[in-house]
């Protein structure tokens, strides 16, 4: 009897909750109508490709056959990826590329933001100059850098040889040991202005009276930075780092145009490798499995990004 | 000095005959419009300008000139390494087509060699391909074997199969059915700078006879003058790499399969043979041991070698006759003393036959392009305007336009092109054309397999890069490449 009563109570609560939700939805029907077109577009251009990629990741797609002739292979694509040497090489490259590019871009961007936050003559011009790498087309920048680095008649090589600092031009992008660091330098050059702009925006939100009060209390420049400025920038720093990390994980243009992932796969990162597997080698199944793995990593980063943003909002709300 | 022995001469003769027979073995009975057995620069000169053709009238019989329709068309167009002359002919072709067929609404799109395959494959997946496409020679069998292309033979556009190079017809044939028509076919030649040869203590008027000589000459040039000897190219996903490495591989007696045989079966993988390894070793010796080739070879393509050659910083390279015109174009753009330096290089530019291997085997890639019609279900809108597609195909593969569109860098796919007045004019205008037409009988088509694009554009360059960067030894790199080909042919993941 008691049990029956409990079930009935649970059903009643569920009905009440449902009607509560429906009431809320109905109340906000206009809002839902406004976002409906956007949701429909997202379902078509995002949700369906994600579903299709996941589905395809369980099929073998031999390059000699059409995609419709694919055969189901279960998790074989994932097993093949995880047991292949190239995967681990490419993964290591991706980690080095992402961590180094993100960290150094952030540090340089932060330093530039701190420098440009001060008032001095020519600050506006300098700020404009520093933003150039970020606004320039990545494709154009890649070609320019390819010529700067050229192992036979690149600008850097010519200058070093001209000044007598080297006998022959350094090998930047035709060597397995130097190619990745060389590409990371180009990526940092392109990305640090983004970090700089974000951090400059963050610096402008720090109340001046706090810094002045700290100065009155006898805090030196480092202490003011560490105890006042930096804590205020924690959230914007988190967001900047996460955005940079996601962008770097997805980075394609610079490595693809400058080296195509070579030489000898030394500059292949996940995205370029996925592209080559899919469009160069037509291994759509394996490429899809790679994409699913990358998707999971990026979703994890995305979760932290959203959490950082929500943290900001909660903090702002409680302030 | 090259010593000619009786044995060597017999062997060379036998190899050359076998290659010629392979290339010229007609798939169908019928006399070709030119006598391929007499093929020589003198013969080519003797037939040039001997016949008149009326392209509009010929194509009007295939598709009436007042036909009203719409055509979407993609083609491998000119790119940064092509001469201005070729750009003009491409422009003229589309203008002429529009004048000849004023009621056909043509939507054409030019793509570079390296981008076309990727874009075309992607479009096919989304059933958004064009109605007709002109692809590199490698692409024909891949798309035919997958069932994307409609059967199409020269007879469908008013010509006969015998009007085209038999070797080229093989590249558009899959399972006994013809799926396209060759637009142009070419073989490259060996180019050197006579002045650099002279300064390096080499005979300025003689090309290296063998690939071993290329290695030696490259080292000598580098050691004496401090510049790059041979223009090695080993970039991945670039057509230039197989076009330059395969002649070397074949000359040493190697191959991917048995593609140099008169009737290849493509059953046995030869990339890990001793001969193939010897060819790879030659590249290794130049790049790693002697450091006598551009360091940038791993990221370079031929377009990067051209300015190096023009600047007098490169002694030898393999390329088309069009490179002479490219040099003239680049020289016009140079300023100050660079202009004079470039002119000196042009004056010293020499063309010769591609070197042989140690056994006297001479080989070159039989390259070119084909034109195809897609099946409606893979085309945007689900419809193919066949008469419109046949109109452009008839025009492009006509004796007139197949010659004009290959004016500087290739040869007409339609053999009747060699008989036109434009061929005569071309022989006078394009320096060194004789040398590259002389290489045609040595041409070997890429394996007519759907897997060829991956083998040539990815596996072969990967093998070179693995060996040249030291990521693998020469033996390991060759074995690794052979394994990749085996996996690929087995349909593995």
Q: Is residue A31 part of a domain?
A: no
* B330: enclosing H helix or E strand: helix B322-333
Mean pLDDT, residues A15-24 taken together: 79
More confident residue, A12 or B289: B289
Q: What is the DSSP-derived secondary structure letter of residue B106?
A: E
Number of separate domains in chain A: 1
Q: Is beta strand B173-174 parallel, antiparallel or unpaired with respect to B177-178? A: antiparallel
- Determine which of A75-79, A192-196, A213-217, B357-361 has the lowest per-residue pLDDT on average: A213-217
- Cα–Cα distance, B39 to B47 (Å, whole number): 11
CA distances from B49 to A62, B44, B52, B60 (A): 49, 10, 8, 23
Q: Is residue A273 part of a domain?
A: no
ipTM for the predicted complex: 0.79
* pLDDT confidence of residue B256: 96
In chain A, which residues have their Cβ closer than 8 Å to the Cβ of B451? 63-64
Subunit contact B299:A67, Cβ cutoff 8 A? no
Average pLDDT score over chain A: 88
- Cα–Cα distance, B343 to B328 (Å, whole number): 8
Subunit contact B296:A151, Cβ cutoff 8 A? yes
Q: Is residue A237 part of a domain?
A: yes
- A 10 A CB-CB count for B444 gives 22
How far is A298 from chain B, CA to nearest CA, in Å?
25
Residue B147 touches chain A, beta carbons under 8 Å: yes
Q: Which tokens in the block code for residue B289? A: 């041991």
In chain A, which residues have their Cβ closer than 8 Å to the Cβ of B240? none
In chain A, which residues have their Cβ closer than 8 Å to the Cβ of B148? 66
DSSP E strands: which ranges in A272-311?
none
CATH code of the domain containing A259: 1.10.3720.10
- Residues B130, B374 contacting (CB under 8 angstroms): yes
Compare all CA atoms of chain B with the CA of A149 and give the residue at the minimum distance: B296
| SS3 assignment for B272-315 | CCHHHHHHHHHHHHHHHHCCCCCHHHHCCCHHHHHHHHHCCCEE
Cβ-in-10-Å burial (0-12, 13-18, 19+) of A299 comes to exposed
Subunit contact B125:A73, Cβ cutoff 8 A? no
How far is B463 from chain A, CA to nearest CA, in Å?
8
Beta-carbon pairs below 8 A across chains A and B: 96
Residue A266 touches chain B, beta carbons under 8 Å: yes
Nearest to B450 among A60, A63, A259 (CB): A63
Residue B457 touches chain A, beta carbons under 8 Å: yes
CA-based Rg of chain A, rounded to a whole angstrom?
26
Residue A170 DSSP SS3: coil
Residue B318 DSSP SS3: strand
- Cα–Cα distance, B227 to A292 (Å, whole number): 48
In chain A, which residues have their Cβ closer than 8 Å to the Cβ of B458? 276, 280-281
* pLDDT confidence of residue B493: 58
CA distances from B124 to A279, A291, B60, B438 (A): 12, 21, 31, 38
The fraction of chain A above a pLDDT of 70, given in percent, is: 95
Subunit contact A266:B488, Cβ cutoff 8 A? no
Q: Is residue A163 part of a domain?
A: yes
Residue A201 DSSP SS3: helix
Residue A181: is its pLDDT beyond 50? yes
**What are the start-end ranges of the H helices in A43-178?**
48-56, 76-82, 85-117, 123-135, 138-149, 155-162
In chain B, which residues have their Cβ closer than 8 Å to the Cβ of A274? none
Q: Kindly report the CA angle at A108 between A107 and A111, in degrees rounded to 5?
A: 85
Cβ-in-10-Å burial (0-12, 13-18, 19+) of B192 comes to buried
CA distances from A315 to A79, A232, A319 (A): 44, 11, 6
Residue B16 touches chain A, beta carbons under 8 Å: no
In chain B, which residues have their Cβ closer than 8 Å to the Cβ of A283? 493
Domain that holds residue A127: 91-268
Residue A68 touches chain B, beta carbons under 8 Å: no
pLDDT tens for residues A120-173?
A: 888 889 999 999 999 999 999 999 999 999 988 889 999 998 998 888 889 999
- Cα–Cα distance, B81 to A216 (Å, whole number): 68
Compare all CA atoms of chain A with the CA of B484 and give the residue at the minimum distance: A281
DSSP string over A28-47 = THHHHHHHHHHHHHHIIIII
Q: Is residue A168 part of a domain?
A: yes
- Cα–Cα distance, A65 to B486 (Å, whole number): 17
Q: Is residue A201 part of a domain?
A: yes
Residue A77 touches chain B, beta carbons under 8 Å: yes
Burial annotation B250-264 (CB, 10 A radius, 16+ → b, else e): bbbbbbbbbbbeeeb
- Cα–Cα distance, B79 to A247 (Å, whole number): 31
Q: Is residue A147 part of a domain?
A: yes
Give the list of residues 6+ apart from residue B297 with CB closer than 8 angstroms, or none.
A174, B231, B232, B233, B234, B235, B287, B468
- Cα–Cα distance, B455 to A282 (Å, whole number): 12
Residue A258 touches chain B, beta carbons under 8 Å: yes
Q: Kindly report the CA angle at B43 between B40 and B47, in degrees rounded to 5?
A: 145
How far is B137 from chain A, CA to nearest CA, in Å?
17
Q: Is beta strand B181-186 parallel, antiparallel or unpaired with respect to B367-373? A: antiparallel
Subunit contact B469:A176, Cβ cutoff 8 A? yes
Q: Is residue A19 part of a domain?
A: no
- Cα–Cα distance, B334 to B346 (Å, whole number): 13
* pLDDT confidence of residue B213: 97
Q: Is the dihedral of CA B94, B432, B53, B157 positive or negative?
A: negative
Q: Which residues of chain B have pLDDT under 50?
A: 1-29
CA distances from B128 to A290, B120, B382 (A): 25, 9, 9
């Amino acid at each position: 009897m008691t049990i029956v009563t409990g079930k009935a109570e649970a059903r009643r609560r569920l009905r009440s909750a449902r009607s509560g939700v429906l009431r809320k939805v109905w109340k906000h029907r206009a809002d839902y109508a406004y976002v409906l077109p956007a949701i429909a577009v997202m379902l078509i251009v995002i949700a369906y490709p994600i579903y299709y990629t996941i589905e395809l990741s369980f099929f073998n797609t031999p390059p000699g056959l059409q995609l419709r002739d694919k055969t189901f292979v279960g998790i074989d694509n994932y097993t093949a990826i995880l047991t292949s040497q190239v995967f681990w090489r490419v993964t290591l490259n991706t980690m080095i590329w992402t961590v180094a590019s993100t960290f150094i871009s952030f540090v340089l961007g932060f330093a530039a933001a701190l420098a440009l936050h001060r008032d001095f003559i020519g600050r506006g011009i300098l700020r404009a100059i520093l933003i150039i790498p970020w606004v320039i087309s990545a494709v154009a920048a890649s070609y320019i850098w390819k010529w700067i680095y050229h192992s036979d008649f690149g600008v850097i090589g010519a200058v070093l040889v001209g000044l007598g600092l080297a006998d022959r031009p350094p090998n930047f992008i035709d060597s397995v040991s130097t190619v990745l660091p060389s590409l990371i330098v180009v990526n940092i050059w392109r990305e640090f202005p983004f970090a700089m702009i974000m951090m400059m925006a963050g610096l402008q939100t720090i109340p001046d009276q706090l810094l002045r009060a700290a100065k009155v209390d006898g805090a030196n420049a480092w202490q003011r930075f560490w105890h006042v400025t930096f804590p205020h920038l924690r959230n914007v720093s988190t967001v900047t780092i996460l955005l940079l990390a996601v962008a770097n994980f997805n980075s394609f243009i610079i490595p693809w145009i400058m080296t195509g992932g070579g030489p000898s796969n030394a500059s292949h990162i996940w995205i370029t490798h996925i592209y080559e597997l899919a469009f160069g080698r037509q291994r759509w199944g394996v490429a899809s499995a790679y994409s699913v793995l990358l998707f999971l990593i990026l979703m994890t980063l995305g979760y932290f990004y959203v959490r950082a943003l929500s943290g900001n909002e909660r903090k702002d709300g409680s302030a | 000095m090259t010593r000619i022995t009786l044995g060597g001469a017999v062997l060379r003769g036998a190899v050359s005959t076998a290659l010629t027979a392979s290339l010229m073995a007609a798939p169908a009975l019928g006399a070709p419009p030119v006598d391929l057995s007499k093929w020589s620069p003198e013969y080519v000169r003797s037939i040039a300008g001997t016949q008149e053709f009326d392209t509009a009238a010929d194509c009007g019989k295939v598709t009436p000139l007042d036909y009203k329709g719409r055509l979407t068309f993609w083609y491998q167009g000119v790119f940064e390494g092509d001469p201005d002359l070729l750009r003009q002919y491409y422009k003229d072709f589309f203008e002429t087509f529009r004048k000849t067929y004023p009621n056909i609404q043509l939507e054409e799109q030019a793509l570079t060699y390296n981008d076309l395959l990727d874009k075309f494959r992607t479009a096919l997946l989304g059933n958004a391909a064009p109605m007709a496409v002109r692809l590199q020679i490698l692409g024909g069998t891949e798309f035919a074997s997958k069932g994307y292309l409609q059967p199409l033979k020269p007879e469908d556009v008013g010509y006969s199969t015998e009007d085209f190079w038999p070797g080229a017809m093989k590249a558009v044939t899959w399972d006994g059915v013809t799926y396209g028509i060759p637009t142009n076919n070419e073989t490259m030649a060996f180019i050197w700078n006579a002045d650099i040869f002279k300064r390096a203590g080499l005979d300025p008027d003689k090309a290296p006879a063998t690939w071993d000589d290329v290695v030696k000459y490259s080292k000598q040039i580098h050691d004496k003058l401090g510049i790059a000897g041979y223009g090695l190219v080993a970039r991945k996903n670039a057509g230039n790499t197989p076009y330059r490495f395969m002649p070397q591989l074949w000359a040493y007696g190697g191959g991917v399969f048995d593609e140099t045989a008169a009737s290849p079966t493509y059953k046995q993988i030869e990339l890990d043979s001793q001969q193939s390894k010897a060819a790879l070793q030659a590249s290794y010796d130049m790049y790693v041991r002697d450091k006598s080739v551009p360091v940038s070879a791993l990221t370079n393509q031929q377009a990067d070698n051209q300015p190096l050659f023009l600047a007098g910083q490169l002694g030898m390279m393999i390329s088309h006759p069009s490179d002479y015109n490219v040099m003239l174009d680049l020289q016009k753009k140079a300023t100050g003393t660079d202009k004079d330096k470039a002119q000196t290089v042009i004056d010293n530019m020499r063309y010769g036959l591609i070197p042989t291997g140690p056994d006297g085997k001479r080989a070159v890639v039989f390259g070119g392009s084909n034109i195809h019609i897609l099946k409606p279900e893979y085309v945007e809108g689900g419809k193919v305007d066949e008469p419109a597609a046949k109109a452009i195909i008839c025009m492009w593969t006509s004796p007139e336009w197949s010659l004009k569109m290959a004016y500087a860098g290739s040869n007409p796919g339609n053999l009747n092109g060699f008989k036109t007045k434009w061929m005569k004019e071309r022989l006078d205008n394009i320096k060194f054309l004789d040398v590259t037409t002389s290489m045609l009988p040595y041409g070997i088509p890429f394996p007519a397999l759907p897997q060829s694009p991956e083998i040539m554009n990815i596996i072969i360059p990967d093998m070179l890069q693995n060996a040249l960067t030291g990521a693998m030894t020469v033996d390991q790199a060759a074995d690794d490449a052979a394994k990749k080909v085996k996996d690929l042919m087995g349909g593995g993941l």
